[in-house]
Each structure stands twice: as C-alpha cells, then as structure tokens.
Structure 1
Amino acid sequence: MVKAFYFLLLLAAIFTAAQARSIVRRPQPHSSFKINITQINPRSCSYTVRIATSCSSPRYTRDQISLSFGDAHGNQVYAPRLDDPSRRTFERCSTDTFQVFGPCTYQICYLYLYRSGYDGWRPYSVEVYGYNVKPVTFYFDVFIPSNMWYGFNYCRQPYDASASESTMK
C-alpha cells in the first residue's frame, strides 16, 4: 500500500513537471531596456528578419516599429524604423522580410519590439536568421503596447541592457 502511494506520488510529480515545461511564454514589457549606443554603428554581420503580422491585426498600421535583438554576451542589434507605409509593411496577414546589419552575435536569445503610434499592431511571429547563429523564432500574437520595448528574453544569464547608455526609452 505504501509503495502504491509513492508510485502515485511519483507519477503526479512527473505529470506536473511535464506540464510546467509545456507552458508557452508570452512576451513581456521591459521597462528598463536600453539600446547600446556603442554598438549601433558596427555593421559586421547581416541578419534576415521575417516578421509575420497577425490576421487579427488592423488592416495596416502607420505606427513606427523598431526592433532589437541580441545574445547573452551583450552583443545587440538595433533596427530603427522598420515601418514604411508606402511599401505596405505590416499589413494584416502578411510577412515582411528585412535585411538588418549590426554587430556579430552568438546565439540570439532575446528580441524586443518597440511600437510608437496610435493605429495598433499585432505581430504573429519574428524570425531571425544569421550566418553563425541558428535560426530563432519568437511568437508574439498579441498587440504590442505603445512606447515601450516588448518581447522575450530567453538568455540564461540575461544581458543587463538597462546598464547601457540609451538613445530611446
């Protein structure tokens, strides 16, 4: 009887642990995120960024969209003003591809979006491809709040971007 109890307890623990790992993380605001201005000019590496806009997004947006991503070692890529209403970027149910240049990184583990404007915008996903890094996809599927960095940080030892100098909030 005691063995059966411990066996059930063990099964319950395994089941709970398995469920905990399957929880999908949602993007979060990062109020202290800063752009590292010492790395804005280096154009050592090229990255392809594919941004899919959700079908739940407004038909189009005139909002200003910026992007920043990097690794756990403090290497940060910053792409200001990806938006271009004349080119129909970020329309509902569409995918836009950008070539972004910046410092070379190790494996990308964080990505944040910054939206400024009144239209609203709901990205579905952001994929980043680089020469020496594995492709990585960040799934949003939520409306991005205005005037704040919003995204993911999966770095094991998070880079403290709030310690860097800043060019924008």
Structure 2
Amino acid sequence: MKHLLFSSVLLLNLISLLSFSQARSSIVPLPQPALSSFKINTTSKNDRSCSYTVRITTSCSSPVYTRDQISLSFGDAYGNQVYAPRLDDPSTRTFERCSADTFTVYGPCTYPICYLYLYRRGYDGWMPEYVRVYGSSTVTFYYKTYIPSDLWYGFNYCNGVTSSATPAVSVQ
C-alpha cells in the first residue's frame, strides 16, 4: 500500500511537471508598438539588391474586407531595412477575411530578419494571422490581433531584445 501511494504521488508530480513545461512553451509574446526610435529609412528604398516573397494571412476574425492602407517594414540587427508602402489594393480583394496574399518586395539584402512591423491607416480594422518572409531564410511572425491605426506594430528581436519565452517568430 505504501509503495502504491508513493508511486501515485510520483506519477502526479511527473504529470504536473509535464503540464507546466508544456504550458510554458506555449507562451507567445504579443506584437508591440515600435519604439519611438524606429524610423523608416527612405534612402534605402532605391536599394533593390534582394527580392523577398512576403505572405500575409488575414485572420478569419478580421472584417470581411478592409479599405485600410497597409504597409510593411522588416530588417536585421545591422540596420538593413526593407520597406513596402501600401500593400493594400481593395480592387483586387487584398486582405479579405480568411485569405492569404503574397507579395514580391525588393530592398537591401538582410542578414537574419529579426524585426517586422505592420502599419495600418484607416477605419475598417484588420487582423493578420501571421506574416511570413521568404529570403535567404524563412521567418514567420504571428500576430493574431488587430493592428492599431497610425502606428507601426509588430515584433523586434534584434540586439538581444528577445524575451525568455518562446518567441513569436520562427526561422526555418
């Protein structure tokens, strides 16, 4: 009986430990407003050294469609920045609910991409599910939240800013 009780307690402790470690690994940081020091580098707009494929998936919780203006900026820890103004185009049904849109974006070549921000201007609202950038490697940023208007909003894992939780970016 004593052995059975000890085994039961040991098993319960093991199950608790596994449950806690799985819960901890599912913590995903949310996107944040860009720091006030974040600026769009318009001088690098003419640098079209590299091409990137950007796939943006719109959440099924988003409005049916949006007429909002959507822009994108991503880059690396070395100051290389790619800027794509006005990805939106309501006439082509861009950013509809439950859809995925793919864009080819040109800009300076980057080392591993460690930040990505979206900018939305308008009144409709829009909720991206994730943004995936294909370049020399593939990186995915998970949003799953509405993008505030008139604000660069996203993720920055450059220069050791990464939290200790599982990052909301996956590099493949």
Give the TM-score range, shorter chain.
0.7 to 0.9
Q: Does 1:146 align with 2:152?
A: no
Aligned pair partner of 1:71 in 68, 73, 76: 76
Of structures 1 and 2, the one scoring higher in RCO (CA 8 A, sep 6+) is 1
Q: Does 1:99 align with 2:104?
A: yes
RMSD, aligned CA: 2.0
* C-alpha deviation, 1:38, in angstroms: 2.2
* C-alpha deviation, 1:17, in angstroms: 8.0
Q: Is the Cα contact below 8 Å between 1:31 and 1:148 reproduced in 2?
A: no
Aligned pair partner of 1:30 in 34, 37, 45: 34
2:121 aligns to what?
116
Aligned pair partner of 1:136 in 118, 134, 139: 139
Equivalents in 2 of 1:36, 1:50: separation in Å? 22
* C-alpha deviation, 1:156, in angstroms: 3.2
Equivalent pairs counted in the alignment come to 146
TM-score using structure 1 length: 0.79
* C-alpha deviation, 1:39, in angstroms: 1.0
2:92 aligns to what?
87
Percent identity, please. 71
Equivalents in 1 of 2:64, 2:43: separation in Å? 37
Q: Which runs of no fewer than 5 residues in structure 1 stay unpaired?
A: 1-10, 159-169
Which residue identity lines up with residue 84 of structure 2 in the other structure?
A
Rg: which structure is higher? 2
* C-alpha deviation, 1:106, in angstroms: 0.3
Secondary structure in structure 1 of the residue aligned to 2:43:
helix
TM-score using structure 2 length: 0.78
* C-alpha deviation, 1:40, in angstroms: 1.4
Q: CA 1:19 to 1:92, structure 2 compared with 1: closer, same or farther past 3 Å? A: closer
Q: Which runs of no fewer than 5 residues in structure 2 stay unpaired?
A: 1-13, 162-172
1:97-155 deviation per Cα after TM superposition (whole angstroms, max 9, x unaligned)? 0000000000001000000000000000000001x2x1000000100000000000112
* C-alpha deviation, 1:16, in angstroms: 7.4
Equivalents in 1 of 2:35, 2:74: separation in Å? 16
Q: CA 1:19 to 1:83, structure 2 compared with 1: closer, same or farther past 3 Å? A: same
